[in-house]
Structures are given as structure tokens and as C-alpha cells.
């Protein structure tokens, strides 16, 4: 499967503070969201094994997909490890939603995710995010 990609013909929103994004919203948000939803809808449901062989890693991958669908109201949760974090988490628009997903994942997995760790996901893939969460879960389990 091809990773999600930014829709052709839509410029990336300029880097802006949360206040600038709130007071001067990106005019193409709904069109970009629709185009990305179409990419997800065109995919068959990925086999859970795309997230790896380890049952915990698979569980985390599927959990991330579900949290993304819930928070961003994606029509499908058909994400794959190669999908860019910045597109799946819609980071050009709202850092608060990213923080909400991170808090949900902390509660779901019983781990702490620092702001620095979450900020480091920018420019990475969902597979990288799952790897980070998997390592934190393993470390937490070894300290019990």
C-alpha cells in the first residue's frame, strides 16, 4: 500500500502559532481532509501484521489507528506504518488534538510520553511512533 500523501494542488499550511491558526484558519482544510479521507477509504483494511510480529506492537499499532480515527474523525482507520505522522495527525492545524491523542495513549498504555518525545514524531512515520510507544511499554513492563 502506498503511504498517505499530501493532495496535489493544495499548498501546505504555513508554519504558524496556534493563535494564528485559530484566528486565520487554513482555507483548504476541509478539501484536504476530504482528499485524505478518500485515500484511506480506497485502501483495504490492512492486515494487523503490518505492525509487526510482536502482539504488543500490533496492539499498539491498532490502538494508534483507532485513536487517530476517533480524534480526527477519519472515515476509516486504515493507517499503515509508512504513513507520515504529520499527515495522519493533521499537525499543520492543531497541536491540541495531538496532545489529546498523546494523553489518551498514555492512559491506554499506562506509560508517560514526554512533550519532547511527542514533538520528535514530527517528520517521522506512524511506524516510528509505534516503535517509540512499544519501547516505552517494554521498559515500563521490565520495571514492574
CB 48 within 8 A of CB 58: yes
Please tell me the distance from the alpha carbon of residue 19 to that of residue 16, in angstroms, as a whole number: 8
**pLDDT digits 0-9 by tens, 107-130:** 999 999 988 898 899 899 999 999
Per-residue model confidence as pLDDT tens digits over 46-63: 999 999 999 999 999 999
Find out whether 36 and 87 touch, Cβ atoms under 8 Å: yes
CA distance 13 to 94: 11
| Model confidence band, residue 37 (pLDDT cutoffs 50, 70, 90) | very high
**pTM for the model:** 0.86
Amino acid at each position: 500500500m502506498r503511504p498517505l500523501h499530501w493532495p496535489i494542488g493544495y499548498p501546505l499550511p504555513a508554519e504558524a502559532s496556534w493563535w494564528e491558526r485559530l484566528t486565520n484558519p487554513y482555507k483548504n482544510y476541509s478539501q484536504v481532509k476530504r482528499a485524505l479521507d478518500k485515500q484511506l477509504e480506497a485502501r483495504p483494511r490492512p492486515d494487523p501484521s503490518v505492525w509487526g510480529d510482536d502482539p504488543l506492537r500490533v496492539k499498539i499499532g491498532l490502538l494508534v489507528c483507532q485513536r487517530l480515527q476517533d480524534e480526527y474523525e477519519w472515515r476509516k482507520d486504515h493507517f499503515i506504518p509508512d504513513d507520515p505522522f504529520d499527515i495522519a495527525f493533521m499537525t499543520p492545524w492543531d497541536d491540541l488534538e495531538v496532545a489529546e491523542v498523546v494523553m489518551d495513549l498514555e492512559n491506554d498504555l499506562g506509560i508517560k510520553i514526554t512533550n519532547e518525545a511527542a514533538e520528535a514524531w514530527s517528520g517521522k512515520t506512524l511506524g516510528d511512533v509505534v516503535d517509540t510507544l512499544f519501547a516505552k511499554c517494554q521498559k515500563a513492563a521490565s520495571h514492574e
